[in-house]
Structure 1
Amino acid sequence: MSIPLLNYNPASQNQRVAGYEVPNEDTPRIYRLEDCNGSGDLEALIWAAYRQVFSEHAILKNNRQGNLESQLKNRSISVKDFIRGLAKSEAFYKLVVETNSNYRIVELCLKRFLGRAPYNQQETIAWSITTATQGWGGFVDSLIDSTEYQENFGDYMVPYQRRRYKDRPFNLVTPRYADYWR
């Protein structure tokens, strides 16, 4: 029996407040499966998913998941399941999970899958306990099946960084390794 997710109080962060900003070049592009009319649009959606999950701008061919891509192109799986498959892939596990601590994994995954940084240390600890008790797959399922994920991205939208006000996006300021590896 696993331990339930610990309670934590969400802090006030920009992604929790409705915005009034005028769209500009910093506004994230939103990729939805229903907006894909041709193969080029679908390839752009797949590329956006890789970029969001792996946080790499030069996706290596050997990290690509051809089986998942084929299922998504045939509409056999949703974007949500594609993201889940990428997160549970061996490539993601080797590149991200094996090289970081549980706290760092929680920080990276909240940014990449929910589009926001952790609210506070209590949330990081709560999700870290989930990782330790349910394993990597259970943690990924808990994040992707969460109410927050469903309300913000649903089944057919690639996650993106919500309400960015800092200089650069998460994927450019969050290095692959934590400070203790450097």
Structure 2
Amino acid sequence: MTFGPASPLGVALYEDTPPFEMWPGRSEEEAQAIINAVYRQVLGNAYVMESERLAVPESQFKRGELSVREFVRAVAKSELYRSRFFDSCPRYRYTELACKHLLGRAPDGYEEMKAHSQILDEKGFEADIDSYLDSDEYQEVFGEDTVPFLRGYKTQTGKKMVGFTHFFKLQRGASSSDLKGSLSGKSPRLNGLVIQEVATAVVPPSGGSSGWSFSEPPINPRARQGAGATEEGQMYRIEVTGYRSNVVNRVSKFRRSNKVYLVPFDRLSEEYKRIHRQGGVISSITPV
């Protein structure tokens, strides 16, 4: 089941598709489906020609000599990945994509970006790939046998609101590609936004709503506009779905499961925390 307005946000396919996981006794067809899922996730939904596929690691995986995680490692360290997303991209663009490809989310913040930059300076590209795949987070979320999947479109307790909004700067629907498909090309999408921890408007992809646009509108969402907007930004509309009580056997005080709040930019973070404390799930954040 999709959450809230999943289809307009372009994430219905992710919500409705169960993770790919390797089980003992899997068939040849199931193993091939997992291989294809790894290519799709790690390479950002980019097309892979037959001549570009990793024949040796694929064969090792099918024979049970490589786990899913080790096959992901082989693809991420391959010349195919490096040439597309490391050698030809600015460093921070590579890092934001590596977070998305290997952890399924946008970077948590500037400290995470800086930590990976330090690894690249001191140990190089392959060590940086290992830092994602050998992390506690990867082990807890994906383990040894699950193909990484996109999960940053869901708000999570303990995670910053900016990570939720930043995810939609990196992913514009199931048909988008990280290799091609953006007017901004290979430029970083989040560099300044991550450093300043600035939340961004969640804009539906093409066809998602009546107000979508392929490129960002000329008016910066942080510019003053509209009645009641603060000097630091305009008003934002937060749609909340699935309100429930955080206490067992207590009925939520909200009569309706969906609610909408209008808040100025400088109160977004405070409102985000309050909604989670009350058991709500944020489904969209858009400028008014």
Report TM bin, short chain: 0.7 to 0.9
- Range 126-135 or range 74-83, more displaced: 126-135
**CA offsets, 1:86-116, max 9 Å, x none?**
1111111112111112211110000000011
Task: Report the TM-score, using the length of structure 2 for normalisation.
Answer: 0.51
Whether contact under 8 Å (1:107, 1:117) holds in the other structure is yes
Deviation at 1:74, TM superposition (A): 0.6
Q: Are 2:63 and 1:74 equivalent residues in the alignment?
A: yes
Residue segments in structure 2 that go unaligned for 5+ positions in a row: 7-11, 155-167, 189-288
Task: Report the TM-score, using the length of structure 1 for normalisation.
Answer: 0.78
Q: Which protein is richer in strand relative to its size?
A: 2
Deviation at 1:172, TM superposition (A): 2.1
Q: Are 2:69 and 1:55 equivalent residues in the alignment?
A: no
Q: Which has the higher contact order (CA 8 A, sep 6+)?
A: 1
- Range 147-156 or range 51-60, more displaced: 51-60
Does the C-alpha gap of structure 1 residues 171 and 35 become closer, same or farther in structure 2, counting only changes over 3 Å? farther
Deviation at 1:163, TM superposition (A): 4.6
1:155 to 139, 144, 147: 144
The equivalent residue for 1:87 is: 76
The equivalent residue for 1:6 is: none
Give the whole-Å Cα distance in 1 for the aligned partners of 2:175 and 2:92: 17
Give the whole-Å Cα distance in 2 for the aligned partners of 1:33 and 1:52: 16
The equivalent residue for 1:39 is: 28
Residue segments in structure 1 that go unaligned for 5+ positions in a row: 1-19
Does the C-alpha gap of structure 1 residues 169 and 105 become closer, same or farther in structure 2, counting only changes over 3 Å? same
Structure 1 ranges of 4+ moved more than 6 A: none
Pairs within 5 Å for 1:94-109: 94-109=83-98
Amino acid in the other structure paired with 2:69: K
1:172 to 176, 181, 184: 176
Q: Which protein is richer in helix relative to its size?
A: 1
Amino acid in the other structure paired with 2:42: V
Deviation at 1:40, TM superposition (A): 1.3
Does the C-alpha gap of structure 1 residues 171 and 118 become closer, same or farther in structure 2, counting only changes over 3 Å? farther
Whether contact under 8 Å (1:161, 1:170) holds in the other structure is no
Amino acid in the other structure paired with 1:179: S
The equivalent residue for 2:115 is: 126
Query: Alignment identity in percent?
Result: 30
**CA offsets, 1:108-142, max 9 Å, x none?**
00000001100122221221111221101110111
Amino acid in the other structure paired with 1:41: E
